[in-house]
Structure 1
Amino acid sequence: MSQLTAIKQCNITDTEFLTDVLSGLAQQQKTLPCKYFYDDKGAALFEQITSLKEYYVTRTELAILEDYSKAIANMLPENLSIIEPGCGSGKKVAYLLAHMSNVNTFVPFEISSEMLNYSLAHLSPLFPELSISPLLGDFTHSQMVKQLTKDTSLDSQTNLVYFPGSTLGNFAPVKAIEIMNNFHRLCGVNGYVLIGIDLVKERQVLLDAYNDKAGITAAFNKNLLQRINNELNGTFDLDNFSHESRFNEQHSRIEMHLVSKCDQSVVINNQRVDFIKGESIHTENSHKYTLESFKQLAGQANLNLERTWQDDSNYFALCLLRPQ
């Protein structure tokens, strides 16, 4: 039977959520941090997105894992722990665990307690001898990561930080470097970092992946407004906003926006925010990399690109990094 240690918690406060929301909506280009997509409903909607025909990312990455998990495992030492920030369902890490012997511990690291429980329920029957030690917290928050690694002694052992799904691309380069610095800390002594990245490709393929015909991505985007209504006494009318995906050539990224359909005002915790018709809230970026641009980015976090594995269409890559 799996050993399930108590979930260690380091929660985001409502005050931090409110501060981030009001600060973002006060900018000339209104923004909201994408990390707040993932309340329990948002996490469930994203799981639906990963199965959509238009969303090539998940099935392409899973195909790479099917083809190369054994090769990846052969490059890693035995007796290490695997840490997965933003673990979701745990579906992808199962491919690695199936090919790795003597993994000490699996540490799912999630901002959503529901997704932590979901990953535990999925992985425990598959790997009954595996010790699973969940962490509830925000892997993008450097002080939180520093405190958690100290409290759990993760920084004193050898770990593989596994970050699939192209999530790194959701962050601006400066923040992506900070996150990879967090992973540098999490990987511990002589550790490894395995990151999935989405590669530059045909524009329409990208646009369709973030604006599916079934409207699941639109519901995922709008759920952020619903979360503000639920948790911060917001008054957003979701029908007054439309979902839009755009490709920003200059920054090589897909952008998701929520566009106001009319002039309107919204109240959040007794503070009013005004919108004019056509004004947007920029909710998410998804940067698309070349291998060379990613190598340079990782280098700024003092991580060396050791090896990559790609699909035949060069849509996606898994990249193995090591501290310099």
Structure 2
Amino acid sequence: MSQVTAIKKSNITDTEFLNDVISGLTQQQKTLPCKYFYDDKGAALFEQITSLQEYYVTRIELSILEQYSQSIAQMLPENLSIIEPGCGSGKKVAYLLAHMANVKTFVPFEISEEMLSYSLAHLSPLFPDLAISPLLGDFTHNQMVKQLTKDTALDSQTNLVYFPGSTLGNFSPVKAIEIMNNFHRLCGVNGYVLIGVDLVKERQVLLDAYNDKAGVTAAFNKNLLQRINNELNGTFNIDNFSHESRFNEQHSRIEMHLVSNCTQSVIINDQQIDFIEGESIHTENSHKYTLESFKQLAAQANLKLEQTWQDDSNYFALCLLRPL
């Protein structure tokens, strides 16, 4: 059996969620933080998205892992710990674990307790001798990461921080640098960071990936409103909002919006939020990089790009970084 330690709790609170929601919805351009997509239902919907034909990211990244996991493993030392922020199902890290000798510990680091349990259920039978130490928390939160690394002594050992998918692109450049600074801390002594990067490509390919014909991405986006109803006494009529994906050329990013279909008011914890017809809530960005633009971004977190692995179409890259 895998050696599984107890899930360590974070201090994410309803008050923090409420404050973020009210702050975002009272801006001129209404917005909601994308990290709140991932309640248990949202996390499950995202898993469905990853298998959609239009959503190329997961399919192509898995093909890169299948082809290059051994090459990646050869660049890493033995006896390190692997930390995966936003671990999801653990499907991708399994490719690396299968090619790496003497991994000390695997640390799935998730905001969703259900996804932590799901990842444990997936990985434990595959790697029965692997020590797994789950961490429940918000990897985007500086103080939380600082406290967790201190409490767990992760910063005193050599780690690989593995951040697959295109999640980094969900954040503004300033926030992405902050998150990579967190990874710099998490990678410990002489550590490594392996990040998935979605590359610039044809606009229609991007738009389709975030607005699938089956409507799973729309359900994922709207679930954020349902979560507000469930947890913050919200009164959103979900049917009064439509999902929309847009490409912002200036910022090289896909944007997801929830567009109000009518003039309406919503109450959240006794506070009224008004919408006019056609007004949107900006719920997510997904920035698309060139290798050069990503290299410059990482440098601002004192991380140096050491090696990249890409598919033949140059849709996606896995990038290995080291602290400067």
The question of a shared fold, defined as TM-score above 0.5 by the shorter chain, is answered with yes
Tell me which residue corresponds to 2:133.
133
Q: Match for residue 61 of structure 1? A: 61
- Residue number in structure 1 paired with 2:208: 208
User: SS in structure 2 opposite 1:99?
Assistant: coil
Aligned residue pairs, count: 324
AA partner of residue 292 (structure 1): E
Aligned match of 1:119? 119
Mapped to 2, the partners of 1:79 and 1:213 lie a distance apart of 45
- Structure 2 residue runs without a partner (length 5+): none
Q: Deviations over 1:57-112 (max 9, x none)?
A: 00000000000000000000000000000000000000000000000000000000
Q: CA RMSD in A?
A: 0.3
* 2:162 paired with 1:182: no
2:144 is the alignment partner of 1:165: no
Amino acid aligned to 1:115: M
Shift of 1:12: 1.0
For 1:6-155, list aligned pairs within 5 A: 6-155=6-155
Q: Deviations over 1:268-310 (max 9, x none)?
A: 0000000000000000000000000000000000000000000
Shift of 1:11: 3.2
Q: Deviations over 1:121-140 (max 9, x none)?
A: 00000000000000000000
Q: Distance in 2 between matches of 1:182 and 1:211?
A: 31
Measure the CA separation in 1 of the matches of 2:108 and 2:153.
Answer: 15
Supply the AA of the counterpart residue of 2:236.
F
Q: Which amino acid aligns with 1:287?
A: H
Are the equivalent residues in 2 in contact too, given 1:11–1:136 (CA < 8 A)?
Answer: no
**For 2:167 and 2:309, how far apart are their aligned partners in 1?**
17
- Paired with 1:169 and 1:68, the residues of 2 have a C-alpha distance of 23
Cross-structure match for 1:193: 193
User: C-alpha separation between the residues in 2 aligned to 1:9 and 1:140?
Assistant: 15
Q: Distance in 2 between matches of 1:95 and 1:52?
A: 21
For 2:293, give the aligned amino acid. S
Q: Percent identity?
A: 89
What is the distance in 1 between the residues matched to 2:2 and 2:200?
40
> Is the partner of 2:78 in helix, strand or coil?
coil
Match of 2:289 in 1: 289
Query: How far apart are the structure 2 equivalents of 1:216 and 1:265?
Result: 26
What is the TM-score normalised by the length of structure 1? 1.00
Paired residue type of 1:17: F
What per-residue deviation string (whole Å, max 9, x for no partner) do you get for residues 11-34 of structure 1? 310000000000000100000000
- Which runs of at least 4 in structure 1 moved beyond 2 Å after TM superposition? none
Name the SS for the 2:98 alignment partner.
helix
One-letter amino acid of the counterpart of residue 305, structure 1: L
Q: Is the 8 A contact 1:88 1:115 kept in 2?
A: yes
Amino acid at match of 1:138: D
- Structure 1 residue 300 corresponds to structure 2 residue 300: yes
CA deviations on 1:153-189 (whole Å, 9 max, x unpaired) are: 0000000000000100000000000000000000000
Q: Secondary structure at the match of 2:244?
A: strand
Deviations 1:235-271, CA, capped at 9 Å, x for gaps: 0000000000000000000000000000000000000
TM-score, length of structure 2 as denominator length: 1.00
Query: C-alpha displacement at 1:115, in angstroms?
Result: 0.2
Instruction: Kindly provide the amino acid, as one letter, of the partner of residue 174 in structure 2.
Output: V
CA positional deviation for 1:206: 0.1
Structure 1 unaligned spans of 5+ = none
Q: 2-side partners of 1:57 and 1:12: how far apart?
A: 29
Deviates more, 1:4-13 or 1:19-28: 4-13
Q: Residues of 2 paired with 1:161 and 1:290: CA distance?
A: 22
Question: Deviations along 1:34-76, whole A, 9 cap, x unmatched?
Answer: 0000000000000000000000000000000000000000000
Tell me the amino acid that sits aligned with residue 320 of structure 2.
Answer: L
Q: C-alpha distance in 1, partners of 2:35/2:288? A: 19
* Aligned match of 2:225: 225
Give 1:319 shift: 0.1
The residue type paired with residue 317 of structure 2 is A
CA distance in 1, matches of 2:180, 2:43: 22
Secondary structure of 1:188's match? coil
